[in-house]
């Protein structure tokens, strides 16, 4: 009797979220796969083409066309952003973890970009990166060392010709990477700080009594005990690296073509500029599989690799 | 030993301070640039500080694109999404944490697995859905697809499980049903989790970009992020001062909210981290 009453109540309690998730998550997943089997521009009736869109992706990959460049750029962005962001944020978190006066203010400062719309940040960074009058190049041009030549003391500029950043094919991606690391630093550092604060101080006291130096303490206590956080941040960062879109859309729109053309930008422009909904859905569905694999890998590694405790 | 500690602290301040400055410079530059005369950007030598304070840049940004409408849309959408997600998540979380019914654990795992689905995968079918429903250029398109949050259900369930069952058992003996237990005992005790999740939900909706970009075309229906994007589309590299004024106006509300409620924001983020 009790169980049945709970069942009815449960149905009532679950109905709103269930309907929402079913209509707007589950159905669209099925929809994404279904659309990926079509050739469709939304205006004219769709045509069933089987796996042709996936075959087209495979062909592009094999013959080094757009998709290969897009994947390479996305991997470049992810492979550079993730380790850089993790190293800097762990360093910052370790410094923030010292009980120092005024550290709360730093926590607020580092976190500012995380609450700010990335659109606003991207606009500011476009100005900072401006080749002629951007703050970064003005600073680089002003950097100089005193030098004696011909009996006269002169200032020799260290970087007389700074890069064109977003306008330069070689520097556009590094510029976006730097901006993205900057923007995500506070978020990752706060996560790391929470992980570090979970480590019992008795470990550090034991290490101090044993005469461990700073590196040994880091290597044998901090790093292993903070590893659940590391793995979490790593997985989340890889996933969001594959999903990078807004700063690219705002800062370069894929230019200098195709140096900053990334995966989601490709999906977006195939779907909503070229109106190739079928092909774009196939791209999106493959992204889903990639992210699923990364997540499953994280789950299986978590079980073996991380040390829980502290 | 004492000396080493002092040197270490000094080192910490130096690094944190240096990096802290690099965190603040873009924000400071955004404000300084927003007050400049628009021609100042194109002169070869230009000082760090503006020659005069040009508030009219703000007025120009406000009137070039319908900024007031952007604010109204962003507020309406973010409040509605947050309220809806809190409502649906609380109910589901209570069912998962406290009710006994068949298939509970399987259903919970099904909820969790929807979190793995990236928004970029569902956006094309959702766009088709919005077109069929004739919801393009409406608030419904920005609100209705986001009324439920699997993450919210998960987060609140974990929190509800930490509340001692005895309180509810006592209320139950006094004849209280599940609705009143949820409303009178569980929710009041869950304020920290509700605040944290509410803030995260609000922030997510407020700053969301790609979805509004797809389903909103009419300027008067745009939210702040895509409205600001349209201001950049309008000026390109032509008028940096007005563009920066727009960026300041778009960024400021959330920055002020964060400065006042930073403890809650950071708690929310730390809770997110517990997922690992």
Tens digit of each residue's pLDDT (9 = 90 or more) over A180-229: 999 999 999 999 999 999 899 899 999 989 999 889 999 999 999 999 89
Interatomic CA distance for residues A282 and B54, integer angstroms: 50
Q: Is the pLDDT of residue B23 over 60?
A: yes
* Mean pLDDT (chain B, rounded): 90
Q: Is residue A253 part of a domain?
A: yes
State which of A163, A187, A217 marks the end of a domain: A163
Interface test with A, best of B124, B136, B250 (most A CBs within 10 A): B124
Q: Provide the pLDDT for residue B45.
A: 56
Please give the distance of CA B88 from its chain centroid, rounded to a whole number. 18
3-state secondary structure of A156: strand
A159 and A65 part of one domain? no
A60 and A91 part of one domain? yes
Interatomic CA distance for residues B272 and A79, integer angstroms: 24
**Partner A contacted by B271 (CB < 8 A):** no
Share of chain A above pLDDT 90, in %: 66
> What end-to-end distance do the CA atoms of chain A give, in Å?
45
pLDDT band at residue A49 under the 50/70/90 scheme: very high
CB-side exposure of A212: number of CA atoms within 13 Å?
17
Query: Looking at the domain that runs over B57-273, which CATH code has it been given?
Result: 1.10.3720.10
State which of A148, A163, A178 marks the end of a domain: A163
Comparing CA positions, the residue from A117, A87, A78, A122 lying closest to residue A239 is: A78
Q: Provide the pLDDT for residue A309.
A: 46
H helix intervals, chain B: 2-34, 56-64, 67-98, 104-114, 119-132, 139-143, 150-161, 165-173, 178-181, 187-189, 191-206, 210-215, 224-235, 240-260, 262-273
- Look at chain A and report how many structural domains it folds into: 2
A168 and A106 part of one domain? yes
Listed in sequence order, the residues at least 6 apart from B195 whose beta carbon sits closer than 8 Å to its beta carbon are B264, B267, B268
A80 and A157 part of one domain? no
Domain containing A244: what range? 54-129+164-305
Q: Provide the pLDDT for residue B272.
A: 61
Q: Provide the pLDDT for residue B46.
A: 61
A255 and A136 part of one domain? no
Q: Provide the pLDDT for residue B42.
A: 67
Interatomic CA distance for residues A196 and A218, integer angstroms: 11
Indicate the pTM of the whole model. 0.91
pLDDT band at residue A2 under the 50/70/90 scheme: very low
Identity of the highest mean pLDDT range in A61-75, A149-163, A272-286: A272-286
Interface test with B, best of A18, A21, A272, A299 (most B CBs within 10 A): A21
A298 and A169 part of one domain? yes
Give A123-151 pLDDT, tens digit per residue.
999 999 998 888 899 889 888 888 887 77
Tell me the domain boundaries of chain B: 57-273
Share of chain B above pLDDT 90, in %: 67
Using a CB-CB distance cutoff of 8 angstroms, which residues of chain B are in contact with residue A233?
A: 276
A104 and A122 part of one domain? yes
Q: Is residue A90 part of a domain?
A: yes
CATH number of the domain encompassing residue A124: 1.10.3720.10
Q: Is the pLDDT of residue A4 over 60?
A: no
pLDDT band at residue B238 under the 50/70/90 scheme: confident
Are B203 and A115 in contact (CB < 8 Å)?
Answer: yes
Using a CB-CB distance cutoff of 8 angstroms, which residues of chain B are in contact with residue A295?
A: 116
| Lowest mean pLDDT across A7-11, B137-141, B269-273 | B269-273
pLDDT band at residue A305 under the 50/70/90 scheme: low
Nearest neighbour of A29 by CB, restricted to B117, B127, B246: B117
Nearest neighbour of A133 by CB, restricted to B23, B41, B145: B41
Interatomic CA distance for residues B250 and B254, integer angstroms: 8
Average pLDDT of the residues in B30-51 = 77
Identity of the highest mean pLDDT range in A94-108, A111-125, B4-18, B257-271: A111-125
Comparing CA positions, the residue from B9, B259, B262, B254 lying closest to residue A102 is: B9
Q: Is the pLDDT of residue A5 over 70?
A: no
Q: Is residue A42 part of a domain?
A: no
Q: Is residue A45 part of a domain?
A: no
In chain A, residues 210-239 whose CB comes closer than 8 Å to chain B: 228-229, 231-233, 235, 239
- B23, A182 contact by CB (below 8 A): yes
A197 and A285 part of one domain? yes
Q: Provide the pLDDT for residue B4.
A: 77
A171 and A245 part of one domain? yes
**Partner A contacted by B252 (CB < 8 A):** no
In chain B, residues 37-66 whose CB comes closer than 8 Å to chain A: 41-42, 46
Using a CB-CB distance cutoff of 8 angstroms, which residues of chain A are in contact with residue B259?
A: 108
Average pLDDT of the residues in B25-52 = 80
* Mean pLDDT (chain A, rounded): 90
3-state secondary structure of A174: helix
Give A267-303 pLDDT, tens digit per residue.
999 999 999 999 999 999 999 999 899 888 888 887 7
Are B265 and A95 in contact (CB < 8 Å)?
Answer: no
Q: Provide the pLDDT for residue A257.
A: 74
> What end-to-end distance do the CA atoms of chain B give, in Å?
37
Are A17 and B27 in contact (CB < 8 Å)?
Answer: no
- Which tokens hold the place of A152? 């006269």
Give B82-138 pLDDT, tens digit per residue.
999 999 999 999 999 999 999 999 999 999 999 888 888 999 999 999 999 999 999
Interatomic CA distance for residues A204 and B95, integer angstroms: 42
Are A229 and B273 in contact (CB < 8 Å)?
Answer: yes
Please give the distance of CA A42 from its chain centroid, rounded to a whole number. 31
pLDDT band at residue A74 under the 50/70/90 scheme: very high
Q: Is the pLDDT of residue B69 over 90?
A: yes
Using a CB-CB distance cutoff of 8 angstroms, which residues of chain B are in contact with residue A2?
A: 100
Nearest neighbour of A246 by CB, restricted to B122, B210, B255: B210
């Amino acid at each position: 009797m009790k169980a049945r009453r709970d069942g009815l109540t449960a149905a009532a309690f679950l109905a709103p979220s269930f309907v929402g998730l079913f209509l707007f998550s589950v159905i669209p997943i099925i929809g994404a796969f279904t659309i990926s089997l079509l050739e469709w521009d939304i205006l004219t009736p769709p045509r069933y083409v089987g796996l042709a869109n996936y075959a087209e992706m495979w062909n592009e990959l094999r013959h080094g066309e757009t998709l290969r460049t897009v994947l390479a750029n996305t991997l470049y962005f992810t492979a550079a952003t993730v380790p850089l962001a993790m190293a800097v944020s762990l360093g910052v978190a370790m410094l923030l973890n010292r009980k120092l006066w005024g550290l709360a203010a730093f926590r607020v400062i580092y976190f500012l970009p995380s609450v700010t719309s990335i659109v606003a940040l991207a606009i500011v960074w476009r100005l900072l990166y401006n080749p002629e009058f951007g703050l970064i190049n003005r600073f680089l041009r002003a950097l100089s060392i005193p030098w004696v030549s011909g009996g006269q003391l002169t200032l020799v500029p260290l970087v007389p010709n700074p890069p064109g950043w977003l306008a330069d094919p070689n520097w556009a991606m590094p510029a976006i990477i730097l901006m993205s690391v900057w923007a995500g630093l506070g978020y990752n550092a706060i996560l790391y700080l929470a992980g570090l604060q979970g480590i019992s101080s008795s470990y550090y006291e034991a290490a101090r009594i044993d005469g461990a130096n700073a590196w040994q303490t880091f290597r044998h206590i901090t790093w292993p005990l903070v590893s659940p956080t590391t793995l979490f941040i790593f997985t989340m960062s890889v996933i969001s690296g594959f999903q990078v879109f807004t700063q690219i859309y705002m800062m370069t729109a894929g230019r200098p073509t195709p140096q900053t053309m990334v995966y989601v930008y490709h999906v977006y422009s195939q779907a909503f500029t070229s109106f190739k909904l079928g092909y774009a859905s196939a791209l999106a569905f493959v992204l889903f599989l990639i992210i699923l694999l990364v997540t499953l890998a994280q789950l299986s590694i978590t079980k073996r690799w991380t040390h829980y405790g502290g | 030993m004492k000396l080493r500690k002092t040197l270490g602290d000094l080192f910490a301040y130096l690094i944190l301070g240096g990096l802290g400055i690099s965190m603040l410079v873009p924000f400071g530059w955004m404000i300084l640039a927003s007050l400049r005369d628009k021609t100042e950007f194109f002169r070869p030598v230009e000082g760090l500080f503006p020659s005069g304070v040009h508030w009219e840049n703000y007025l120009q940004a406000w009137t070039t694109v319908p900024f007031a409408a952007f604010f109204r849309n962003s507020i309406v959408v973010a409040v509605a999404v947050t309220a809806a997600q809190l409502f649906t998540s609380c109910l589901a979380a209570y069912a998962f944490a406290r009710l006994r019914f068949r298939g509970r654990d399987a259903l919970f795992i099904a909820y969790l697995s929807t979190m793995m689905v990236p928004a970029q995968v569902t956006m094309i079918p959702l766009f088709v859905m919005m077109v069929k429903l004739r919801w393009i250029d409406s608030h419904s398109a920005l609100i209705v697809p986001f009324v439920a949050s699997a993450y919210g259900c998960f987060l609140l369930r974990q929190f509800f499980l930490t509340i001692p069952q005895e309180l509810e058992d006592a209320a139950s003996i006094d004849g209280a049903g599940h609705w009143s237990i949820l409303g009178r005992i569980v929710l009041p005790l869950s304020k920290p989790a509700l605040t944290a999740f509410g803030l995260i939900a609000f922030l997510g909706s407020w700053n969301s970009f790609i979805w509004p970009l797809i389903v909103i075309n009419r300027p008067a229906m745009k939210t702040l992020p895509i409205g600001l994007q349209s201001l950049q589309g309008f000026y390109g590299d032509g008028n940096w001062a007005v563009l920066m004024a727009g960026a300041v106006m778009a960024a400021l509300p959330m920055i002020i909210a964060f400065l006042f409620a930073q403890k809650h924001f950071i708690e929310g983020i730390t809770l997110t981290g517990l997922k690992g």
